[in-house]
Structure 1
Amino acid sequence: MKAYTTSKRLFERSGAALAGGVSSSLRAAMRPVPLFAASGRGAVVTDADGNRYIDYLLAYGPLILGHAHPELTERIHAAMTNGYTFGLQHEGEIELAARLTEALPCAEQVAFSGSGTEAVMLALRIARSHTGRTKIVRFHGHYHGWSDAIFTAFPSADMKGGAASDAGGKTMPGTGGQSELALQDVILLPWNDAVALEETLRARGHEVAAVITEPVMCNSGCIRPRDGYLERMRELTRELGIVLIFDEVITGFRFGLGGAHERFGIAPDLMTMGKALAGGIALSAVAGSRELMRVVSSGKVSHLGTLNGNCVATAAAIATLDILGRNGGEAFVRMEATAARLAQGLRERIAANGFRGVVNQEGPVFHMMFIDRDAVEDFAAFSERDGALYSDFAERMLEEGVLVRTNGLWYVSTEHTEAHAEATLQAADRALARLAAERRTEGGERRG
C-alpha cells in the first residue's frame, strides 16, 4: 500500500491559506487525498511522498508532450532569457498566428488568450457582434469553461452539480454565485439529436447568434457524433446565418494539427483551442474567417488580456507544433494506437473481472465508465454510469501506480510507450480484481 503522508500534511497546511486547499475545485475530488506533485518526467509523475505514477491525467489535458519534454523545456528557457512578456508586440505572435492559419482549415485569422474559458468568451462575443443576435445554442454534457454566460450545471465525479435544467426547462447555473440572468440567452439541447436541433433552429434561428459544440463530446463519455449529425449542424447554421463554433480546447492539436474539424472534414465558422496548444503553458486562441474576425480587428469587439500572446506561451506553442508535426505527424498515429490498445485492454479486463462497462475512444482520448449497457452514444445514457464505482477504481489505480482522473476521462501523450500501456493494463487487472473481491465480501456481509 502506498503512503500519502506528505500529501496529507501538505493538504492540511494548504487549507489554512488557500481556499479549499486546492487551486482548482476539480482537484479536491481526488482520493484518498489531493496529491501534491514533486516532479514529472515523460509519462511519469512523482508525488511529494516519492510515489511514482504513470500519468493519464496529464494536468487535465495540456501535457500532450508529457512532463518536462527536453526540447520544449529548452525552447521555453531560451525565450525566457529574452524577457517573459512586454505588453508589446513581438515576432513570436506573428509566427504562431501564421502557423495556425496554415494548419487549421477553418482559420484565416486568430486571436490569442490565456485559457479555454477566455477563448469561448471571445468566440461568443464575436458571434453576437457579427450577427446582431443574442441567443446561444449549447448542449447537455458539453463543457465550455466556467464563465457566467455559458457554464451550466454539469454533474461529474469531480464537480459538484445537479441537472443542467429544472423541471420547467430553465437552464441552471453551474456554480454558486453565478448569475442566473447570465444564462437567459442559453438554449440547452440534447446532443447527437438532429431532429431536436433542426426544430429549434427553424423556430428560433432568427434569435440565435451561435451554436457551440464539442465536435466529440470528450468531457462526457468521449462520444463521437452520429453519422451526418455535424454535417447537418453545418448545413442548418449556414442556411440560417448562425455562427457555428467548434470548441476544440480538448481536440485541437490532439486529434491532429488540423484538429477534429479537419478529421471530420467539417469547417466551423470559429473554433476555440487551448490545453495541448502550448504543451502545458497557459495559452488559448480563437480562429476563424477573416470576415468574422473583422469585428475584433475593427475594435467593435474589445479583446483584452495582459498576458495574451506573451513570449513564453508563443514559444511553447511553436515548439509543440514543431514536435507534433515531425515525420508527417507520426506522433498522432502513435498516440492513437496506444489509446486504442489501452481502451481494448480495459474492455477485456472489465468483462473478465465480472463488471459491465464501456470504454469510448476517439483519437488519443478515451472515457471509461461502469454501466449496464453495451454502448453509450448520448448524454442520457452516459448519465446512467456508476460514478461512485469508477471513483473507487481510480483510487485503486493510484495505489497500483497509475494516475487517472476520477471522472473517467483518460489522455495519452507522446511519451506513453507500449511498456507503459502494458503496465497500466496489469495494474487495471489487479485493481478490478480487488474491487470485485470487495463487492463479493460486501454482498456476503449483507446476506449474513
Structure 2
Amino acid sequence: MVHEQSARHFQKSKQYLASGVSSTLRLSMKPMPVFAAGGSGATVTDMDGNRYIDYLLAYGPLILGHAHPGLTAAVCEAAAKGATYGLQHQGEMELAQRLTEALPCADKVALSGSGTEAVMLALRLARAYTGKTKIIRFEGHYHGWADTIFTSFPSPDMQQSASGLQGRNTAGASSAAAGSSAKPGTSGQSAAALADIIVLPWNDVAALEETLRRHHGEIAAVISEPVMCNSGCIAPHPGYLQRMRELTAELGVVMILDEVITGFRLGLGGAHGRFGLLPDLVTVGKALGGGFAVSAVGGKDAIMELIADGTVNHLGTLNGNGVATAAGIATIRELAEGEGAAFVRMERLTERLVRGIRERLAACGMQGVVNQLGPVFHMMFTAESVVESFAAFGNRDAERYARFAELMLEEGVMLRPTGLWYVSAAHEEADIEATLQAMDRALARLAPTIGGVR
C-alpha cells in the first residue's frame, strides 16, 4: 500500500505538534503513523485512500464501530442544544441512572472525562474512606498515566517505559510494604509520587494474602484489572478475584476493579457482573462513550457519599457535559438492545476469528498463543505453550509481532502493534473471513525466525 499522504502529513505535523502525534502510543505504528480520513462501521480509511478492517478501534472505545448512526445522531442533537453548560442537565442524570442500573456494584456514580481521571478519583476515595495511604497494584496492569499510579510498562507502544522495565517483585511482602516497589513509567515522572505504591505479582493468592495480613493497617486499596488485557489478556485464576474480595472485606481495604477496558465490553455489567463480583469501587471508560471522552467511578453509597459531603473534591470542567453524556446514553442503549444481543454476536465472531488464527499458526508451524475473553484477545508469538502469567507474557517475541502487524496493515487490516485485538458490534462475518485471508498472506511473508522463535 502507498502511504504518501500519511508520510507527508506526518512530516508537516511534526513542525507544530510535539512528536507529530497526540499520544506516544501512535508512534509505534509501522511503517509510520497512519493519518485517517474517515471511518465507517468496522473500517477506517486513510488519507491515501487505503481502507482497513479495524481491530485497533481507537485503542478500545469504538465498541459500536466508526460513525455509528444512532450514536452520531444523539451526539449531534446534544451539540445543537449546547455542548457543555457547567450546569446540571437531564443527560447527566440519565447517564448516571443507566450506569447504576447496569453496574452491579454501583449504588452511585461520579462522571469524569478519561480512564486516568476515573482511577485518580477512585484512589482518592479509597484513601479518604480508610484513612490509609498505600495502594497495592499488580505488575503488568495499566491504570492510566497519572504520576501516582503509572509504573514502568513493557510495551512496544511505550519505548521509554520498556527501557525502565521493573523486575518481578519477588522480595516478599515485608520489603514491598517498607517502601515503594514501583518504578516510574516515564522520564519526568517523580519517583516520590509512587512512594505509596506496592507492586505484587498478579494471580498469586499467597503474595496478596501475606501482604494484606501483614500491612493492612497501611493499605487503603487493592486496584486490579479483572482481566490482564494489556499484558496478554490473561484471565484471573479460578477463585482469585473472589479471594481478593474476601480478604479486602475482612481487613478493611477497599477493592477497586479497573474496568476502563472491560466495562461495557464483556457485558453491560462489565467483568464484575460477568464474574459475579461486588468490588467496593469500579472505574469504567473507553467503550462507555463509543468514541467520546467520558468515564465514571461507581461504588457503594458509603464511599461515594464522601463526594457528596465535601470530604473528597471531585473536579473537572467538562465532567458530565452534554455531548459526552449523550454518547454514553446512546452507547448503553444500543448495547442493551435485544437483551444484549450485540455481546453474543461480538463474542461469536471473536471466537471464529481466534479459532482461525490458531489454525493458521499451527498450519505454518509457527509457535504462538491467543488468549481471549469475550470480544477482546491478545495474540503472541512465543515458545510458551500457555501464557498465564506476566513472566510468561514477557517471553513473547514482541519484535516479530510488530512486524506481523506491519504486514497486516499492508494487507488491509489495522492492528495494534502489541498484539491486543478488539472486535466491535460493527464487524461482520465477511470481515472475519477477509482478515483470515490477509493473515494467510502476511504469515507467508513473515520471516521464519526472529529472536529464535519459529
Could you tell me the TM-score, scaled by structure 2's length?
Answer: 0.95
Please tell me whether residue 439 in structure 1 is matched to residue 441 in structure 2. no
Q: Output aligned runs, 1:38-117, within 5 Å.
A: 38-117=37-116
How far apart are the structure 2 equivalents of 1:34 and 1:95? Answer: 38
Comparing 120-129 with 337-346, which one deviates more in the overlay? 337-346
Alpha carbons 1:166, 1:172 under 8 Å: kept = no
Distance of aligned partners of 1:440 and 1:238 in 2 relative to their CA distance in 1, 3 Å threshold: closer
Which residue in the other structure is 2:140 paired with? 141
Which residue in the other structure is 1:266 paired with? 277
Q: Output aligned runs, 1:33-432, within 5 Å.
A: 33-160=32-159, 161=161, 162-165=164-167, 170-432=181-443
Which stretches of structure 1, 4 residues or more, deviate above 4 A after TM superposition?
A: 165-169, 440-443
How far apart are the structure 1 equivalents of 2:206 and 2:352? Answer: 35
Query: How far is the alpha carbon of 1:440 from its aligned partner?
Result: 7.2
Alpha carbons 2:404, 2:443 under 8 Å: kept = yes
How many aligned residue pairs are there? 440
Counterpart of 2:234 in structure 1: which amino acid? I
What secondary structure does 1:230 align onto? Answer: helix
How far apart are the structure 2 equivalents of 1:419 and 1:380? Answer: 36
Alpha carbons 1:164, 1:173 under 8 Å: kept = no
Query: How far is the alpha carbon of 1:274 from its aligned partner?
Result: 0.2
Query: How far is the alpha carbon of 1:350 from its aligned partner?
Result: 1.2
What secondary structure does 2:38 align onto? Answer: strand
* Residues 105-157 of structure 1: CA deviation (Å, up to 9, x unaligned): 00000000000000000000000000000000000000000000000000101
How far apart are the structure 2 equivalents of 1:171 and 1:99? Answer: 37
Query: How far is the alpha carbon of 1:374 from its aligned partner?
Result: 1.4
What secondary structure does 1:220 align onto? Answer: coil
Query: How far is the alpha carbon of 1:439 from its aligned partner?
Result: 3.0
Unpaired runs of 5+ residues, structure 2, are none
* Residues 206-226 of structure 1: CA deviation (Å, up to 9, x unaligned): 110000000000110000000
Unpaired runs of 5+ residues, structure 1, are 444-448
> What fraction of aligned residue pairs are identical, expressed as a percent?
65
Alpha carbons 2:397, 2:450 under 8 Å: kept = no
Counterpart of 2:42 in structure 1: which amino acid? A
How far apart are the structure 2 equivalents of 1:176 and 1:351? Answer: 41
* Residues 164-187 of structure 1: CA deviation (Å, up to 9, x unaligned): 359987421000100100101000
How far apart are the structure 2 equivalents of 1:273 and 1:315? Answer: 16
Comparing 168-177 with 286-295, which one deviates more in the overlay? 168-177
* Residues 331-379 of structure 1: CA deviation (Å, up to 9, x unaligned): 0000011111111111111121221000000010000000001110010
Alpha carbons 2:256, 2:281 under 8 Å: kept = yes
Counterpart of 1:305 in structure 2: which amino acid? G
Counterpart of 1:141 in structure 2: which amino acid? G
* Residues 266-320 of structure 1: CA deviation (Å, up to 9, x unaligned): 1100000000001000000000011000111111110000000000000111011
* Residues 366-417 of structure 1: CA deviation (Å, up to 9, x unaligned): 0000000111001010000000000000000000000000000000000000
How far apart are the structure 2 equivalents of 1:440 and 1:115? Answer: 40
Counterpart of 1:395 in structure 2: which amino acid? E
